[in-house]
Amino acid sequence: MERGLLAPLSPNEEMALRRISHGSTQIAEIHVQRLMRLALIQGGPLGLQLTELGKQRLAGMGHGPLLVTGEVGFDDADL
């Protein structure tokens, strides 16, 4: 099993992964770097994208909020 599926993610990293899956570009660089090291996301011609491993991790997380108080982003109403 890949490390990216097992490594614990902070709540902010989980939300960053969810936001990236919805196309958000306002993600803290520290979260981007960690998610890349875990091979959950990659840069692409259209910006950040989930890898296949990232899609698996997201599917295993269930549904949760896209916005944390004090962070820039959007919520389900914006989708």
Is residue 64 predicted with pLDDT exceeding 70?
no
If one counts every other C-beta atom within 10 angstroms of the C-beta of residue 47, the result is 12
- Helix H or strand E segment including 48: strand 47-50
- pLDDT value at residue 66: 52
* Sign of the alpha-carbon torsion through 36, 41, 42, 46: negative
Rounded CA-CA distance 36/53 in Å is 11
Q: Which of 71, 77, 53 is nearest to 11 (CA)?
A: 71
Domains of the chain, by residue range, sit at: 3-60
Rounded CA-CA distance 62/11 in Å is 13
Q: Is the pTM above the cut of 0.95?
A: no
Average pLDDT (27-51) is 95
58 or 76, higher pLDDT: 58
Average pLDDT (60-74) is 57
CATH number, domain 3-60, options 1.10.3470, 1.10.10, 1.20.120, 2.10.25: 1.10.10
